[in-house]
Amino acid sequence: MAYFRALDSASDMLTLVEVGQTSEGRDWYFALISSPENLANVERYREIVQRLAHPAGLTDEAARQLSQEGKAFVHIDGGLHASEVAGAQHTIQLAYDMLAGADNPRTAAILDNVILMLWPSINPDGQNIVADWYHSNVGTPYEISSPPVLYQKYIGHDNNRDAYMLNVTESRVVARTWRRWEPHIVFVHHQSSPFPTRIWLPPFAEPIASNAPPLMSRTVNMIGMAMAQGLEQNGQEGATHMEPFDAWYPGYIDYLPMLQHIAAFWTETALYRYATPHFYTINDFPARSRDLRPQTLYASPWKGGWWRLRDGVEYMVTASYYTLDYASKYREDLLYNRYQSGRDIIRKYEQEPPYAYFIPQEQRDPVAPVELLRRLAFNGVEISRLNSAVTFDGINYPAGTWVIPMNQEFAEVAHGVLDVQTYPDLREFPEGPPDQPYDAAGWTLSYQMGVDVTAAASPLTDEVRSAMVPVAGEPVDWRAVQGIGTSFDSPMDVGFDTDATAVGIVPLPGRTAGSGSNLAVDPAQNNSFRAINQAIEEGGSVRFEAGSPGDAGHPGTSGRYVISGISRSSANQMVRDLALRAEWTGSNSGAPVRRRIALYRSWRPSMDQGWSRWLLDSYDFAYTRITNGDLHAGRLRDRFDVILLPAERPQSLLNGNAKGSVPPRYEGGIGDMGVRALDKFVRDGGTLVCLNNSSEFAIEQLHLPVENVVANIPRDEYFVSGSILEIQTDPSHPVMAGMPDRAAVFVGYSPVFTTLEGFEGSALAKYQQVGSPLLSGYLLGEEHLNGYAAALDVVHGDGHVILIGFRPQWRGQSFGTFKVLFNAMLYGGNVSAGSFSNPEFWTAPDQNGETDKSGTM
Ligand SMILES: [Zn+2]
């Protein structure tokens, strides 16, 4: 930053622009780089970009004229995966080359045609974390060791998987800046390319997003080839394309902009570790790469030798430079294509479904649609609201219902997250195992967030259109609803027309019924848990009132939480601020809720651990982070009622970092001593909550009479990675309180349970007996989970082990299942075995796979 500040004061071709602050409160900037004339007129060029980005009311002729006048805006940054260190370094070199190269005709043309938005990093906090870690280890045996912390406050590597959810500050700052500047190209640098190639460039591998605008895909392909040609011109060998990086998941911050008609992509430059050099011989190469055979998309195979930080920087500078060169040469096409691609999407959804999405305000959790719609609005999707009731396609929609009309330029953003994903059945070879998706296969937000959304199958009528008013303004502080404590400016205040009379995206007001001095809250609402935690902080107490177990053919009913001991005005304020549906009651029975929670922190920091922390912080849970040392010290039951083990591989939990691979204080895992302490904790009445594959750790180490039935099934028979499946729940069990009896859950590399001789406890959720439970994504071999349990409450001594075979807080997206984790955090201390549950809910299939059908739904 000091270097960029020096350039800013020395040159009239570079201006630093402040964009806000990072999660850890650092001031954050990018640099605008262009000719002095362009920078002097940058506001005019930004206006042109905005006009072309939003084509409504513009003629092709006018768009053509603006395209001739305007400049191409190109976002390039130094990356966000902070252990990939060359990216940030290359921005310094690139800035210098642009400013010092005005005598070079190619550079001069770039400065004339292009306005470069150069970000030293889009994760400055992580950059500092990794740099500090590396500096503390250089020259020691731990020079290339991994840091024991994530390189973003909460989410580490998942920071480029947050583009449509915008859960962390960095994603919001970048998205907000893009809406202000609407760049034509977004280019994010990553490392590493598939060994031994030296840089991976687009085109992407299959599959790409099913709704990617084709003109943008073609543009990215051309830029990929322009970069490759530039690398060859410079004698930089080893560029490759396509495998293994597909572009199916739109949560990538470097791909979602495609759906906004921005040519968005990333590259992957080779990396050894951090800034440490490494020498490779051909014997280090995989056998298939040793023949150095030139290929269509790998025309100059890399032959080995030294690879240093400087080499990575130089490849990146070339890739960035030839992207700018492309933008300079194709300036007018870039501007016009931005307009044309948006115009064509508006036309597309005037002629084909979905014509709109309807989202009623009244929902199981009335805050969930608000969380969903605010994210879409922040990403530039225009949302309307009905100012009177209408009937459409035979459905009555009350006034207040939100409508997302699809004849808008950013419609594909809404389509991409509200539509069901049908992941193509790609195989490694015919009849072979499924080709593994690089990331999630299905993520449909209406399922994940438990929001009822109806797609319009026929064109909107005049009646509907005349009742629609665009929403605007932000009368409620985002933090009151979203709760993560970061600044979140109005999504509507940038680049969109606003209607001062319209009402913003706010939940139905909170309301209470009944009488009495205690407040009963419904666990179907996530905000009920904010209320519970705030009440505890204020000195109140909370009890759990059990629901009633179901019987043959009928699901049970959910319990609820009753808050007492806080003032009436404080309770009323919670109802108002949290938009709660609550009931006053005189009742104060039920089990007291205790909240002494520990979150296990491994020195191999998992993103699931980060997301768990994000979720607990967002909903005001107090908890203690414990490490191996706390486990080894024992006496856990004196300190805690509940211990949460986030998803992590069982071997990684047990053994942690190998001896000698990290500074000694970060060596090792839970180990035998920790296992004994956890076992005693549960036997003495504690609750151990295990997410996804950490369940397998508990099954093995605590010798639970439970088996993961999909553990050893080959990938060509059973495969599900990152998809949404339907489960049947037992809402009468406290951990499932507030869940619908049929629920959508996010599943990925997840265990599926059956119980063995000696099992005591109950099933919390199960898969259907026959047929596929797939709702969105990809599932092969449903017969391997039919009839088995998706989550269990295992009684162990006087305590419980909760095994959750899905991802209840996956990337902060699955709002519909957050409550499973919340309930589990409060399921400590006073629960007695089986007292709430319905014994008829689930019976383990017998050895022959036959199930006792009595009592199944
Ligand atoms: Zn990366």
293 Cα: distance to centroid of ligand 1 (angstroms): 28
- What is the 79 CA–ligand 1 centroid distance (Å)? 7
Residue 273 per-residue DSSP state: B
Q: Quote the ligand 1 centre to 414 CA distance (angstroms).
A: 26
* Burial annotation 250-260 (CB, 10 A radius, 16+ → b, else e): bbbbbbbbbbb
Ligand 1 centroid–CA 189 distance in Å is 7
Distance from the alpha carbon of residue 801 to the mean position of ligand 1, in angstroms: 36
Query: For residue 538, how far is its CA from the centre of ligand 1 (angstroms)?
Result: 43
Q: What is the Å distance from ligand 1's center to 191 Cα?
A: 5
Question: Distance, CA 643 to ligand 1 centroid (Å)?
Answer: 32
Q: Cα(269) to centroid of ligand 1, in Å? A: 10
CA 779 to ligand 1 centroid distance, Å: 27
Question: How many angstroms does the Cα of residue 84 sit away from the middle of ligand 1?
Answer: 6
pLDDT digits (tens, 9 = 90+) for 808-819: 999 999 999 999
C-alpha 227 to ligand 1 mean position (Å): 19
Assess contact for 691 and 810: CB atoms under 8 A: no
* pLDDT at residue 158 in the model: 97
pLDDT band at 829 (very low <50, low <70, confident <90, very high): low
Q: 627 C-alpha vs ligand 1 centroid, how far in Å?
A: 28
Say how many Å lie between the CA of residue 233 and the centre of ligand 1: 26
Q: How many helices (H) and strands (E) does the chain have?
A: 25, 35
d(CA 628, CA 657): 12
Distance 81 CA to ligand 1 centre (A): 5
Lowest mean pLDDT among 463-467, 511-515, 758-762, 825-829: 825-829
DSSP states along 14-25: EEEEEEEE-TT-
The position carrying tokens 């959750």 is: 804
Q: Which residue has the tokens 């449909």?
A: 444
Alpha helix (H) residue ranges in 54-192: 60-69, 86-100, 105-113, 124-137, 169-181
Cα of first residue to Cα of last residue in the chain, in angstroms, is 62
Between the CA of 124 and the centroid of ligand 1 the distance, in Å, is: 14
**Distance between CA 195 and CA 79 in Å, rounded?**
20
Three-state secondary-structure class, residue 612: helix
Distance 761 CA to ligand 1 centre (A): 43
CB 609 within 8 A of CB 539: no
pLDDT digits (tens, 9 = 90+) for 7-54: 999 999 999 999 988 999 999 999 999 999 999 999 999 999 999 999
Q: What is the pLDDT of residue 836?
A: 56
Specify whether the CB–CB gap between 13 and 100 falls below 8 A: no
Question: Residue 834's closest CA among 762, 755, 731, 735?
Answer: 762
Choose between 594 and 484: higher pLDDT. Answer: 594
Contact 654, 669 (CB under 8 A): yes
Rounded average pLDDT over 357-385: 92
266 CA from centroid of ligand 1 (Å): 9
C-beta neighbour count of 586 within 10 angstroms? 9
Query: What is the CA(619)–ligand 1 centre distance, in A?
Result: 29
Structure tokens, 602:
């491994």
Using CB atoms within 10 A of its CB, is residue 367 exposed (0-12), middle (13-18) or buried (19+)?
A: buried
**pLDDT band at residue 489 under the 50/70/90 scheme:** very low
Cα(246) to ligand 1 centroid in Å equals 14
Q: Residue 523's closest CA among 590, 573, 469, 452?
A: 590
Instruction: Using the structure block, give the residue that is written with the tokens 């280090």.
Output: 284
* Cα 190 to ligand 1 centre (Å): 4
Peptide bond into 244 cis (omega under 30): yes
User: Is residue 438 scored above 80 in pLDDT?
Assistant: yes
Q: Is the pLDDT of residue 421 over 80?
A: yes
Residue 494 in this model has a pLDDT that exceeds 70: no
Q: How many Å lie between the centroid of ligand 1 and the Cα of residue 441?
A: 19
Residue type, 427: R
In whole angstroms, give the CA distance from residue 793 to residue 753: 11
pLDDT per residue as tens digits for the range 160-196:
999 999 999 899 899 989 999 999 999 999 999 999 9
- Residue 855, pLDDT > 50, answer no
Give the span between the Cα atoms of 29 and 86, in whole angstroms: 19
Q: Find out whether 311 and 191 touch, Cβ atoms under 8 Å.
A: no
Question: What pLDDT score was predicted for residue 272?
Answer: 97
Q: Could you give the CA distance from residue 337 to residue 342 in angstroms, rounded to a whole number?
A: 8
Spacing, Cα 437 to ligand 1 middle (Å): 17
Q: In terms of Cα–Cα distance, which of 245, 249, 266 is closest to 165?
A: 249
What is the average per-residue pLDDT within 518-538? Answer: 96
Distance 87 CA to ligand 1 centre (A): 10
> Which secondary structure element, helix H or strand E, spans residue 183, and what is its range?
none
Looking up tokens 């020259």, which residue turns up?
Answer: 139
CA distance 153 to 149: 9
Q: How far is ligand 1, taken at its centre, from the CA of residue 657, in Å?
A: 22
If you measure from the C-alpha of residue 168 to the centroid of ligand 1, how many angstroms do you get, rounded to a whole number? 17
Q: Reply yes or no on whether the pLDDT at 835 is more than 60.
A: no
* Separation of CA 267 and ligand 1 centre (Å): 9
Amino acid at 391: T
Give the integer Cα–Cα distance in Å for 179 and 170.
Answer: 14
List, in sequence order, every residue forming a beta bridge with 625; answer none if it has no partner: 599
What's the pLDDT band for 834 if we cut at 50, 70, 90?
A: very low
- Contact between 817 and 731 (Cβ < 8 Å): no
- Predicted confidence (pLDDT) per residue in 380-392, tens digit: 999 999 999 999 9
CA atoms within 13 A on the CB side of 93: 19
Helix (H, G, I), strand (E, B) or coil at 543: strand
Q: Report the candidate in 854, 733, 857, 842 with the shortest Cα–Cα distance to residue 789.
A: 842
pLDDT tens figures, 655-707: 999 999 999 999 999 999 999 999 999 999 999 999 999 999 999 999 999 99
pLDDT at 433: 86
Q: Return the percentage of the chain with pLDDT > 90, whole number.
A: 85
78 CA → ligand 1 middle, Å: 11
Give the whole-angstrom CA distance, residue 662 versus residue 257. 38
Cα 447 to averaged position of ligand 1 atoms, centre (Å): 28
Distance 130 CA to ligand 1 centre (A): 14
155 CA to centre of own chain: 9
- Output the CA 772–ligand 1 centroid distance in Å: 34
Mean pLDDT of the chain: 92
Tell me the CA–centroid distance for residue 607 and ligand 1, in Å. Answer: 14
Task: Report the pLDDT value the prediction gives residue 426, as an integer from 0 to 100.
Answer: 85
Contact 789, 766 (CB under 8 A): yes
Tell me the C-alpha distance between 282 and 341, whole Å. 46
Centre of ligand 1 to C-alpha 442, Å, is 21
pLDDT at 320: 99
* 149 CA → ligand 1 middle, Å: 17
pLDDT band at 246 (very low <50, low <70, confident <90, very high): very high
Residue 850 has pLDDT above 60, yes or no: no
Q: Which 3 state secondary structure label does DSSP give 660?
A: coil
Q: What is the pLDDT of residue 472?
A: 60
- 726 CA to centre of ligand 1 in angstroms: 32
pLDDT 10s digits, 124-165: 999 999 999 999 999 999 999 999 999 999 999 999 999 999
> If you measure from the C-alpha of residue 616 to the centroid of ligand 1, how many angstroms do you get, rounded to a whole number?
27
The answer to whether the Cα torsion of 681, 683, 689, 694 is positive or negative is positive
The whole-number pLDDT of residue 430 equals: 84
Q: What angle, rounded to 10 degrees, do the helices at 2-10 and 86-100 form?
A: 10
